[in-house]
Every structure is written in C-alpha cells, then in structure tokens.
Structure 1
Amino acid sequence: MAPTTALPTFYWVVFGLYEPLLTSVGFMGAVIDPKTTHDQQAPWPAGGPPDEMPLATRVTILQLGHVAGLLGLLNFFVLSACRRYLFSRPDLQEKIVGALLKPLLLGDFLHIAITLWALEDSRWDVSSWGLILWITIVTGFSLMIPRITWHMGIGRYVDARDGHPGKRS
C-alpha cells in the first residue's frame, strides 16, 4: 500500500520534534553559558581561550543561538499545521514540507562544510574538538540524512508516484 502522507511519523518526529528540541536546547545553552558555547566552537591553541569574552562575541553567540532556536520553532509550527490541516491533501503537504526542507537541506550541507572549512588544519585533529563542535557535526548529519531520504521519497507519499488517494485514474 502506498503511503498516504508526505509527513509520516518518522519524519514528523525528526523534523517536527527532534530538530526543534535540538535548536531550543542550543539556544538555551547559549543564553545560560555563552562563554562555554563560544569556547567549544573550535580547538584553541596552547593556553586555551581568553578569560574574558568580548561583548561583541557574546552578542553574536546569543543572536546565533536565537536564530537556531527560531528555525526549530518554524519547523514545529509549519509541520504541525501541515499534519493538522492538510491530512487529507498529501499532495499539498508534499509541496509545503518540501518548500521548508529544501533550504534546510542546503543549510545542512553548508553548515557542515563551512564549519569544517573554518576549522582549517584543526578539522583533521578530531581529538582536539570540544563537545559543542562534535554536537554540531553529528547532529548536522543526523538531520541531513533524513532530509535527503525525504527528498528521495523514501517512506512517504510522493504525488508523482502515488497520486492523490481521492483522485480517479
């Protein structure tokens, strides 16, 4: 039997619950302890990070945390609305979910690539990576891979393949 929703439970849990949870925790971490958030973004040379964090750096960390949290909330509300109001229209679900997930997939690739590029030679010294850097890379892949499978049509309704259940042939 063909899938009847463009957002089955697995994808809903990953993009509608897991991702908003990750981004909200990231935002809260930046608010609660911006210095640790900053200091664990990349390995430090001998001597470690400075004791004081510049005000501009603190503001930037908080703003980035806010943007990440906001993206998670957008996922939650847009995907919740798709599931709630478009349950009988998987063709429209597919278009709206796809419009949300396409730029996020591009963002996944760019986020990981830019992070690794910015690390320069320390990108290869994974033993020097801090917890937050590891979390960035691992969670990036944990979101990118399901986004790729969603775009491939794996385990979900695809209008071009499955057709609208209410349409007549």
Structure 2
Amino acid sequence: MSGKIAMKKKVLRRLKGQIKFIFFLFKANKNNRSFKMLKNKYLLLSFIGFSLYCLDKRLKKQVKVYYVDSMPFGFNGLAIPPFGIFIDKKHKGNKNLLLHEIVHWKQFQENGLLLFLIKFFFYQIKYGYDKNPMEIEARFNESDFCKCNYTFCVKNGIAKTVSNPNFRKL
C-alpha cells in the first residue's frame, strides 16, 4: 500500500509542476499575441480538470488495450494517453507490437500527459519519426539497423515488430 501512496505523491508533484509550467507560459508571454488562446481562463481550468482526470488513469497499473478494425495513416498500433492502446485487429496476437506500445504508455506514466506530449512532438519535429528518441526506446527488441530505419524495415518486412507495406502512408 505504501508504494501506491508514494506513486500518488509523485504524480501530484508532477501535476503541480505542470500547472506551474502553464502559469509560467502565461507570465512569460503576456505581450505575445500567439499565446492569447492560453490566456483564456476556461482553457486553463479545462487543462487542470483534464490533468486531474489523467491522474486517476495514470495510477491504474493496467492499461486498456483496444483492438480496432483500422488505424489511421497505415499505423499498426497507437498509444493514446490517457485513453489506452489501440491496435489493428490484424495484429491481435503480436506481442512485440503490444510491448512497443506499452513502452510508450510507460513513458506517459513517467512524464505525465503534458510533458509526454511536448517531448514526443518536439522530438518528432526535430528528429523525425525514425530518429525520435522516444520511438527508439520503444524499439528495444529491434536490430540496430531497424531502430533508426524503422519505416523502411516495417515497409519491407524486416522489422520484428510488424510488417506493413502501407505503414505511415498519408
């Protein structure tokens, strides 16, 4: 039971840090017009409410896994915090794909929703999908070549996780 209490305290500290970060954005960007939307009090309250909702979700040990008929952009699976992991029904028995998505879920649990999203999209813009450090961490069971060339490996059937010639097609 003490482990659960320690986890709650850790999550509350992280939530407090996220709220401080939002207030920092308000103060630092008072005169910046691009942050007008952030100044909206209702947006801030929504963010706090959503963070509290996520607090409860993050404390649960098991993540919900949903098997769906199709995934957007040719993806095979997606971890969408705080809702769960979504995997294409064609890959229902694929343990490697599930483990890949669980790593993303653990990244979310460690960082919190806001920091997870900021980090993930920052890395996505800076490095691209194949070189994104959070993606490389999730590819722990792939070969060294596939860790940094994942799209090529998936499209050509080399990846251990999954094979899909339509992977990441827009």
Name the TM tier (shorter chain).
0.3 to 0.5
Larger Rg computed on CA atoms: 1
Q: TM-score, normalised by structure 2?
A: 0.32
Greater helix percent: which structure?
1
| Structure with bigger RCO (C-alpha 8 Å, 6+ apart) | 1
- Normalising by structure 1, report the TM-score: 0.32
